[in-house]
Amino acid sequence: MNNIHNSWSSLFTNYKFDLDTLYDSEDIIYPNKDCVFKVFEMDLNKIKVVLLGQDPYHNPDQANGLSFSVNPGIKIPPSLKNIYKEIQHEYPERNYIFQCGNLERWFKEEYIFLLNASLTVVKNKPASHMKLWEKFTNDVIKYISENNDNCIFFLLGNFAKSKEIYILNKNNIITGVHPSPLSANKGFFGSNIFRSIEEKLNTQIDWNI
């Protein structure tokens, strides 16, 4: 937890986390222990967009502590592939080419806060740690909302939309259909939702990876 930016300190003082005990269990847990709080390396005040996911990928070598993102060399997951498709559709003039599922550049250079509602998961058991992290990540959303009035909360799908209650400024919310293969054709594709984010921010985001 040494790399957590000091802008989060007043939030973290209310919590004590024993990751050693959690990871010493018989379960295989993702992501790696040193990546659990990776997203909090970002300065709270620099966040432009909060992209909320549900929980980390639960298959080996995928999760890296950032929502929707996978480690380099790992096959691009279906939902992220659909996100890429929509970005390419919305910005044909930018000639985006996506060959990797690692969203580290979005995080480090575009200040997109890639938060999962659960920060850990048991191998092959989606949502297995949701209750463990729910109060904390709800408080994270509230904390961002209270301390950064310029960022956009990007909520895709019903689960993410359920977190609207923790966001003070409803004008800072952009919602949409989840990009999973089950729902992307029901309103995500063709939504121009990434253009909506840029318009709301009044700035261009470089969506390259």
Q: What is the CA radius of gyration of the chain?
A: 16
The reply to whether CATH 3.40.470.10 applies to domain 6-201 is yes
User: Helix 78-90 to helix 193-201 angle, to the nearest 10 degrees?
Assistant: 70
Residue 20's pLDDT is 94
Distance, first Cα to last Cα, the chain: 26
CA–CA gap between residue 201 and residue 148 (Å, rounded)? 13
**Which residue in the list 34, 55, 61, 139 is annotated as catalytic?**
55
Q: Which structure tokens are listed for 206?
A: 């470089």
How far is Cα 125 from Cα 120, in angstroms, rounded to an integer?
11
Give the strand pairing for 152-156 and 49-53: parallel
Please give the pLDDT value at position 1: 64
> Is 55 annotated as catalytic?
yes
pLDDT at residue number 93: 97
Closest CA to 141 of 121, 120, 157, 161: 161
pLDDT score at 101: 98
Give the other-Cβ count within 10 Å of 32's Cβ.
14
What are the mean pLDDT values of the chain's consecutive 10-residue runs (209 residues total)? Answer: 90 94 95 97 98 96 97 96 98 97 98 98 97 97 97 97 97 97 97 98 97
Question: Can you give the residue ranges of every domain in the chain?
Answer: 6-201
* Burial (Cβ within 10 Å: 0-12, 13-18, ≥19) of residue 7: middle
Beta carbons of 159 and 126 less than 8 angstroms apart:
no
